[in-house]
Amino acid sequence: MENRRLGVSTGLASYSLWGLLGVFWETLHAVPAFDTLAYRIVWSIITIALVLTVQRDWRRVGQTLKQLVTQRKLGWIVLSSVFISLNWLIYIYMVTHQQATEASLGYYIMPLINVLVAVVVLHERLSRGRLLALGFVVIGVAVLTLQSGQLPLMTLMMAASFCFYGLIKKQVPLPATISLTLETLFVLPLAVGYLWWSPYHILQSGPQVTVLLMLSGVVTVIPLLLFAVAAKNTDFVTLSFLQYLNPTMQLLMAVFVLHEPFQMQQLLVFGLIWIGVLIFTIDNVVANRRPLKKS
């Protein structure tokens, strides 16, 4: 019971912090999105290096790297670092360009995009509940496309990039700290190279922005460490409920803190997505209870 309480509390904390990140990135709107991403990578590796030093875990990083090379799985980690970097970039760009509401929509549909990819790539069979849930998401995206006159590419790309990132992670499951270390290490040379040639420099927008850029590593690592604890001490069904705290808080922050417009047309789209999410969640609960009943 105590472990479960720890898992739920750390899960709530991690998803809440992720939900608040939109406000953090919006305060850096004066910084180009590519520069913000590059600084996030640099300061993340510095932060995670401190964590590994405190935990005395550097040896495990070396052992994992050697094992990945031996098993010829290093390419998966390189690919996952590309997808997570793309996801970070799109999210930062959207939030700093008054599109935080659309970004939250991407995180709502992300679990359902995962299901779609599992069907197409892994040839998994869909239950009726999941098929119905996907139907509502497709209708929601179609309505949004008709309303705006164009396909919501940024929202779909953000959801898809994290989906493929998760798919790759399943091929090479690693502890959270080790995974983040390797992923950031592989894109670190690109980040440093970009910052070297970028006309923007870290002191350009004043001391407040400088400090926030330096903290970008901390706000990246802390929720991840909390989630790692939650994943170890919480069952899948509980986490599947908690994950929607992130986009819900993102939406609330977008409307009430960042003051983005939220009109009836958007409410219709979100309503369709929320119905799909509800059906998907109920289907997950039912599917996870069946084995218990059989046993």
**Three-class DSSP labels, 136-182:** HHHHHHHHHHHHHCCCCHHHHHHHHHHHHHHHHHHHCCCCHHHHHHH
pLDDT at 119: 75
Please give the share of the chain, as a percent, with pLDDT higher than 90: 52
Distant-in-sequence, close-in-space partners of 198: CB < 8 Å, separation ≥ 6: 32, 34, 35, 38
When pLDDT is cut at 50, 70 and 90, the band that residue 295 belongs to is very low
Contact 144, 192 (CB under 8 A): no
pLDDT at 289: 67
Nearest to 101 by CA among 269, 219, 242: 269
pLDDT at 129: 84
pTM of the model: 0.88
Contact 144, 152 (CB under 8 A): yes
Q: Which pLDDT tens digit goes with each residue over 11-64?
A: 899 999 999 999 999 999 999 999 999 999 999 999 999 999 998 889 999 999
Nearest to 168 by CA among 51, 283, 83, 272: 83
The stretch 158-176 carries a mean pLDDT of 84
- Cα–Cα dist 210/64, whole Å: 34
- Cα–Cα dist 60/51, whole Å: 13
Q: Which pLDDT tens digit goes with each residue over 127-143?
A: 888 888 888 888 988 88
The amino acid that residue 106 corresponds to is G
Q: Which pLDDT tens digit goes with each residue over 140-155?
A: 888 888 887 777 889 9
- Summary mean pLDDT of the chain: 87
Distant-in-sequence, close-in-space partners of 48: CB < 8 Å, separation ≥ 6: 177, 180, 181, 184, 217, 221
- Cα–Cα dist 183/248, whole Å: 28
pLDDT at 137: 85
pLDDT at 288 exceeding the cut of 70: no
Please give the share of the chain, as a percent, with pLDDT higher than 70: 95
pLDDT at 120: 77
Q: Which segment of 23-37, 68-82, 118-132, 255-269 scores lowest on mean pLDDT?
A: 118-132
Question: Within a 10 A sphere around the Cβ of 5, how many other Cβ atoms?
Answer: 11
pLDDT at 291: 54
When pLDDT is cut at 50, 70 and 90, the band that residue 219 belongs to is very high
pLDDT at 263: 87
Comparing 210 with 172, the larger pLDDT belongs to 210
Q: What is the dihedral of CA 54, 191, 171, 241, to 10 degrees?
A: 70
The amino acid that residue 2 corresponds to is E
When pLDDT is cut at 50, 70 and 90, the band that residue 89 belongs to is very high
The stretch 248-261 carries a mean pLDDT of 93
pLDDT at 236: 63
Nearest to 181 by CA among 41, 17, 85: 41
Return the half-sphere exposure (C-beta side, CA atoms, 13 A cut-off) of residue 206: 6
pLDDT at 272 exceeding the cut of 50: yes
